[in-house]
Structures are given as C-alpha cells and as structure tokens.
Chains A and B, each alone.
Chain A
Amino acid sequence: MKKFRVFVWKEFIHIWRDKRTLTILLSMPAILIILFGFAITNEINDAPIGIYDKSKDELTSKITSNIINSGYFKLEEIIKSDDEIIDVFKKGRIKMIIIYESDFESNLTKFNTANIQIISDATDPNVANTLVNYAKSLVNNFIMIEYNISPNFKIDVKMRYNTEMKGSFLFVPGLITILMMLIGAMMTALSLTREHEFGSMEYLLTSPLNSYMIIFAKLIPYLLIALFDIIVILILGTVVFGVIIQGSLLLLMFECLLFIIMSLSLGLLISTVSKSQQVALMISLMGLMLPTILLSDFIFPVSNMPQWLQFITNFIPARWFNTIIKSVMLKGAGIGNIINETLYICGFIVLFLGLSIFNFKERLD
C-alpha cells in the first residue's frame, strides 16, 4: 500500500511540475464552454440582412421595422437596384435579402395578394434555412395581426426539455463527453508511453512492482482532474448558460465517473499498442477525438446517418454516454431509463481493461 501511495504521489508530481499541461487541463473546460457558448453558436442573433424595397409604402416599412426589431436580424444594407443584389452577396457579409415588389400595399388591397421575395446565402444551408424560416414567420405573423386573418387550423408546437431552444443544452453535455475522452484517454495514453519512451519503464519492469500497481497509480490523478473538469463545466453550464440539471446529480456524477473510467481504460489500451508518445497522440486524436465528435450524436444526429454508419456508432462509447448524459441532465431520467446505455459503458470498461492487461508487456520485447 505504501508503494502504491508513493507511486500516486510521483504521478501527481509529474502533473504538478508540468505547469503548461496542467494549466491546459484545468482551464480547458472553462475555455471550451465559453467558446461553444458564445462563439460557436447556431442560434440566430443580429444576422446581417439587406432590404430592397421597390414599393416604399407604409406597409413595407412597417414589415421591415417588425423584422429588424425582432432582434434576429440587423439591417446592414439598403439595396436600390437589381444589380446591387449580386454584389452585396459577393461581399459576403449579408446573409439574406428581403425584396418587396413595387406597389406592395396597393397590390395587397387591390388583388388580395402581394409578393415578397427572400434571397438567402445558402453556402451554409442550415443557417440559410433558419433565417428564411424566421423571416417567413415574422412576416406571416405580422400580416395576420395587421389584417386580423386567422387560419382554419392551428399547429401547437411544444419544444420539450429545451423550451427556449438554447444551444447550451446541447453543448454542455457534449463538452463533458469530449473532455472526458480527451483527458481520460489521451492523457493516460501519453503518460504511460512516456515511461517507455524515456526508459523509466526499464526501472519499473526490473523492480518487484506489479503492473497493476503501475497502471492504477497512473489513473488516479487523471480521474481527479477529469472530475474537477466536470464540476467546472456543470457549474458554468448552470450559472452562466442557464442549463438546469433535471435528473439526480448523484446519478449524473456516477455516470460521469463510469465514463471517465471507460476512457481511462481506453487510454491504457492505446498506450499498450503505441511505441511512442507521438503514436499515442495520433491514435487518440485521429482515432478517438474525431469519431467522438462526429459520430456521438453530439453535432450530427445519428438518426440521420445511413444504416451502416449508424451501426458503426454502436462501437463509439461516447454515443452511449451522450444519450445517458442528455437524458439525465435535460430530461430527468432515472437509472431505469438508461440502464441499457450504462451497461454498454460497463461492457466497454471490461473490454478495454481486459485487453490492456492482456496486452501489457512485462518485458521490453
């Protein structure tokens, strides 16, 4: 036991004396959450648009001010001729142009119909779609109220679990998943291969230490750092971005712990198959981070993927954890709802740990 303690102590010294890495590890959650929260957002705020008003009557200016005042759009350019349209888009700032046909108001009163054209920059199709939909519904609502028309049927939409459609509800759990992979898998993989690379493994191997002790002593500091990061993300997520943890905090932490252990064992496995830190880094980044980000349901919905790709996502532990954490955090799920996913994570732990112990070499060759 004393041996184990001194070994954990040694690992802490390694981490503590490597101030640069430590700073990155501890500040990463805060930096990422702020990046995701403020910069990388797909919510629409003050999107720059242009208005081409060929009619210039009272109604069109009312509609325009209604659109601008919604807060979603910012009037950036007043367009005066057809030729300008192309130029404005080419400059790249304007995302959408709203065009009123000439005699808009009189047409509407005379023929009961008038045309608005919306041209949008669809280089980013999702943004374009959202902008167009926002604009359409703003105009429709305005006309309905102005002319007191009510349609024959009404669709009642309820956005459950995220009424305000906040992006933070998506990225806070997603970030936890990614960070746990990063710290757990990558850092452990690096730290074990470092012992091989610097030759200190030769000392450890020729000593009576058993391999379990070497391995488990390495996991403890990273486990603590990962837990610290989760807590930072949860605090920032709830305080700054207003995410409400619906489910039991205890269950949430338990599932996080399980996932950390899973990624630590994955890191171990990587370290047993890579000869140098560089290889370990490549495997963790290319082989782990990319699939974790792309195939875990974090950014791209798995249900939209082709069948074969959906099948592959079954082997991405983060995909199961993403479901768990979203259910517990946002929907208030209990252990009963997520027992399947939890078992999957446990399965991965057993698999990875087993493989790493099987793979761990007690010799150099």
Chain B
Amino acid sequence: MNTVVEVENITKTYNTTCAVDNINLSVIKGEIFGLVGPDGSGKTTLIRMIASLIKQNSGKIKVLGFDNVKDYKSIRKVIGYMPGKFSLYQDLTVEENLTLFATIYDSDIRTNYHLIEDIYSHLEPFKDRQAGKLSGGMKQKLALSCSLIHKPELLLLDEPTTGVDPVSRRDLWKMLKKLINFGITTIVSTPYMDEAALCDRIALFQNGRILESNSPNEIIGKYENLLYKVKSYNNYLTLQALRRFSNDSLVYPFGESLHLVLEKNDSGIDLIQEYIKKQNIGLVSFELIQPTIEDAFILLMQTKNSEIL
C-alpha cells in the first residue's frame, strides 16, 4: 500500500460558506506534500479533516486505510499533528512539554530522539524555559518536536513556518527533508511560494478548490506562456503603461521588477517594447525568463477566474 492519504470528493461548509469544495487528492508514502495557497483557501480545514478533528459534509478520506469518521481512533494513533496556532502548554517548560507528548504516545524522549535531534539541539539550552517565553521560531521548533517525538507515520503540519524567521524556516525545512529517510510522510500547508518548491508534490489552493496538483517541476513545466521580466526605474508607471497597452495582458509586480505574461505564440513583444519606448518613462528592459511556482499559481488563478467570469 503506497497511498497514505486518499481524499475523495471532500466538501466542507460552515453555515453558508464553503471552506473546502469537492477536493480530490492522494498522498504517497514518504513524500512531502504541500498544500499551497493564500489564507482562507481551505488548507487548515482540509488538514483538520485528515487529522479527524472535524467531519466533512460529504466525500471520503482514508488515512493509512482508516476512515476519518468511523476509524478516527485508529488514525489518532499514527498521526502527528501540529496546529497552525502555537498550542503547546505555555506554562510548561520545553522539556516538560516534550516529555508530556512522548508519554501520551507511550514513548519517551530517548527512543525517537534521533528524529528531532537537528532542531531540538537548538532548543536544548532553553529546556528549562517555559514554552510561552520562547521566541516565535523556537516555539515552532518545539511544536514540531512534540508532534514528531512518537514517530508518527503521517505528519500533519499546519503552516509551521508562519511568523518564523528565515534562518529557523530553513532549519525546519531541512529537518522535514530528513524525515523522508525514516519513511515519515508529511503534509504541510504554507502560504509561501518559495516553500512550495521544496515539496515533492503540491496542491495549489484557491477558494476551497485545488487549481492544480502535481510536482513543482511539472507544474512549472506545464507553463506554456511566455514570461517576461520587466525592469524599469518606475515600476508603477511601467505597470500602468503596460495595462494601457492591452487590457487583457497579465502583468504584476514580482520582487523588484514586473512580470509580464503573454500567450505562447504571441509575438507582440516587439510592439509592446515600441509602445513603452514612446511613453517617456525611461529605460525599460524586457527579458524572457523561466517561471517560478508563484508565476504558475498566478496564471492558474487568472485562468480559473476568467473561466468563472
């Protein structure tokens, strides 16, 4: 059995809002599966359903062969779940929290110490500090250690890096990568596109739907449009000028420059360049580049939205 999580036609509504809308996905043993999307796109709801914390309105979820509604007790024995909000006991020290969570699963810190060694070693100097007094990054490291200490088969992480400094983020991801060696499957949600590229496979979420689900490389590979990096002295004026040229063209700020998307056989770039030259906004350079996940996501969003319209 290679599939760890099987999600079939899952829908979840709260009152009248639809949080998750008819989602399908499957997660394979040993991979890091990323749920990528903006806040409120249904990632947390899906993770909670997989963790058996909430029930779906319709559809089926199987976790390691167990039904998330009927066999929730069996699921709870084999998963490690880390909520999006820091929820460890703030008045317990680092070590006490870890001991508590190890004991709950009939384990102890020593048995699975090798799993958390990399990040817990950062925490060890503060092991007598109360968890509430740790910094944001430390808190997340502790939370991850606590969800891992019983060596779960499936690790569910809800935005583990939100509010975490870049160095700690790298540490956390390095460790997630290492978990593959122990056969642990990870489902992680994140709003950050750069983290999406670190996953084995991702599902791009928007408004409770999955826009695309594949490996990051394949998602990028499917990108057939032409993507131009537009550098200029005044991004704002350039953006306005580009939009004036064509209402339909997709152009958006990206880092310190702009990205301009054209249809794959659109040869109008020369016309655009000529038009921009006349706009009197200084030197503007156009460079054909390879898309990132974020570009792919923005394009997918755009096409989905125009389909709806």
Seen from chain A, the residues whose Cβ lies within 8 Å of a Cβ on chain B are 2-3, 6-7, 10, 13-14, 17-18, 198-200, 202-209, 362-365
CB distance from A18 to the nearest CB of B (A): 7
Q: Is B231 part of the contact surface with A, judged by Cβ < 8 Å?
A: no
What per-residue 1/0 map shows which CB atoms of B43-65 lie under 8 Å from chain A?
00000100111110000000000
5 tightest A-B CB contacts, nearest first = A199-B87, A206-B81, A6-B103, A17-B91, A208-B77
Segment among B94-102, B191-199, B293-301 that sits at the interface with chain A: B94-102
B106 neighbours in A (Cβ, 8 Å): 2-3
Given contact pairs A199-B87, A200-B89, A206 touches B105 in the complex (Cβ within 8 A): no
**Are A206 and B76 neighbours in the complex by a CB distance under 8 Å?**
yes
New contact pairs (6) apart from A6-B103, A13-B92, A363-B53, CB-CB < 8 Å: A3-B103, A10-B96, A14-B92, A199-B87, A207-B76, A363-B72
B104 neighbours in A (Cβ, 8 Å): 3, 6-7, 204, 207-209
B209-249 CB contacts (< 8 Å) to partner A:
none
Q: Is B257 part of the contact surface with A, judged by Cβ < 8 Å?
A: no
A17 neighbours in B (Cβ, 8 Å): 91, 130
A10 neighbours in B (Cβ, 8 Å): 89, 92, 96, 100
B100 neighbours in A (Cβ, 8 Å): 6-7, 10
A204 neighbours in B (Cβ, 8 Å): 104
22 pairs of residues in contact across A and B, judged by CB atoms under 8 Å: A2-B106, A3-B106, A6-B99, A6-B100, A7-B100, A10-B89, A10-B92, A14-B89, A17-B91, A200-B89, A202-B53, A205-B76, A206-B51, A206-B52, A206-B76, A207-B104, A208-B77, A208-B104, A208-B105, A363-B53, A363-B54, A363-B72
Interface size on B, residues (CB 8 A): 31
Q: Is B170 part of the contact surface with A, judged by Cβ < 8 Å?
A: no
Measured in the bound complex, the distance between the Cα atoms of B100 and A209 in whole Å is 12
B83 neighbours in A (Cβ, 8 Å): 199, 202-203
A198 neighbours in B (Cβ, 8 Å): 87, 89-90
Given contact pairs A202-B53, A363-B53, A365-B54, A207 touches B87 in the complex (Cβ within 8 A): no
Checking A13, A199, A363, A364 against B85 with a beta-carbon cut-off of 8 angstroms, the contacting residue is A199
Measured in the bound complex, the distance between the Cα atoms of B83 and A188 in whole Å is 24
Measured in the bound complex, the distance between the Cα atoms of B89 and A10 in whole Å is 9
A202 neighbours in B (Cβ, 8 Å): 53, 81, 83, 87
A365 neighbours in B (Cβ, 8 Å): 54-55
A364 neighbours in B (Cβ, 8 Å): 48, 53-54
Closest residue on chain A to residue B73 by CB atoms: A208
A18 neighbours in B (Cβ, 8 Å): 91
Closest residue on chain A to residue B81 by CB atoms: A206
Pair count A-B, CB < 8 A:
74
**Are B90 and A205 neighbours in the complex by a CB distance under 8 Å?**
no
A14 neighbours in B (Cβ, 8 Å): 89, 91-92
Measured in the bound complex, the distance between the Cα atoms of B76 and A18 in whole Å is 31
Q: Is B202 part of the contact surface with A, judged by Cβ < 8 Å?
A: no
Given contact pairs A3-B106, A6-B103, A206-B79, A13 touches B96 in the complex (Cβ within 8 A): yes
Closest residue on chain B to residue A200 by CB atoms: B87
Q: Is B261 part of the contact surface with A, judged by Cβ < 8 Å?
A: no
Closest residue on chain B to residue A202 by CB atoms: B83
Measured in the bound complex, the distance between the Cα atoms of B90 and A17 in whole Å is 11
B87 neighbours in A (Cβ, 8 Å): 198-200, 202-203
B99 neighbours in A (Cβ, 8 Å): 6
Closest residue on chain A to residue B96 by CB atoms: A13
Closest residue on chain A to residue B104 by CB atoms: A207
Measured in the bound complex, the distance between the Cα atoms of B83 and A205 in whole Å is 12
Measured in the bound complex, the distance between the Cα atoms of B53 and A13 in whole Å is 27
Measured in the bound complex, the distance between the Cα atoms of B100 and A14 in whole Å is 13
Closest residue on chain A to residue B108 by CB atoms: A2
B135-155 CB contacts (< 8 Å) to partner A:
146
Measured in the bound complex, the distance between the Cα atoms of B106 and A365 in whole Å is 27
Measured in the bound complex, the distance between the Cα atoms of B103 and A365 in whole Å is 27
**Are B73 and A363 neighbours in the complex by a CB distance under 8 Å?**
no
Given contact pairs A364-B48, A365-B55, A208 touches B76 in the complex (Cβ within 8 A): yes
CB distance from B91 to the nearest CB of A (A): 5
Closest residue on chain A to residue B84 by CB atoms: A199
**Are B96 and A362 neighbours in the complex by a CB distance under 8 Å?**
no
A363 neighbours in B (Cβ, 8 Å): 52-55, 72
CB distance from A192 to the nearest CB of B (A): 14
**Are A203 and B91 neighbours in the complex by a CB distance under 8 Å?**
no
Measured in the bound complex, the distance between the Cα atoms of B55 and A199 in whole Å is 18
Closest residue on chain B to residue A362 by CB atoms: B72
Q: Is B203 part of the contact surface with A, judged by Cβ < 8 Å?
A: no
Checking A2, A200, A362 against B103 with a beta-carbon cut-off of 8 angstroms, the contacting residue is A2
Checking A199, A200, A207, A362 against B105 with a beta-carbon cut-off of 8 angstroms, the contacting residue is A207
CB distance from B136 to the nearest CB of A (A): 16
Closest residue on chain A to residue B82 by CB atoms: A203
Measured in the bound complex, the distance between the Cα atoms of B72 and A10 in whole Å is 25
B36 neighbours in A (Cβ, 8 Å): none
Measured in the bound complex, the distance between the Cα atoms of B96 and A46 in whole Å is 58
Closest residue on chain B to residue A208 by CB atoms: B77
Closest residue on chain A to residue B83 by CB atoms: A202
Measured in the bound complex, the distance between the Cα atoms of B85 and A220 in whole Å is 29
Q: Is B184 part of the contact surface with A, judged by Cβ < 8 Å?
A: no
CB distance from A30 to the nearest CB of B (A): 26
Closest residue on chain A to residue B12 by CB atoms: A365
B101 neighbours in A (Cβ, 8 Å): 203, 207
Measured in the bound complex, the distance between the Cα atoms of B48 and A202 in whole Å is 9
B91 neighbours in A (Cβ, 8 Å): 13-14, 17-18
Measured in the bound complex, the distance between the Cα atoms of B103 and A268 in whole Å is 24
B35 neighbours in A (Cβ, 8 Å): none
Closest residue on chain B to residue A10 by CB atoms: B100
Measured in the bound complex, the distance between the Cα atoms of B90 and A208 in whole Å is 22
B92 neighbours in A (Cβ, 8 Å): 10, 13-14
Checking A2, A203, A206, A362 against B88 with a beta-carbon cut-off of 8 angstroms, the contacting residue is A203
A2 neighbours in B (Cβ, 8 Å): 103, 106
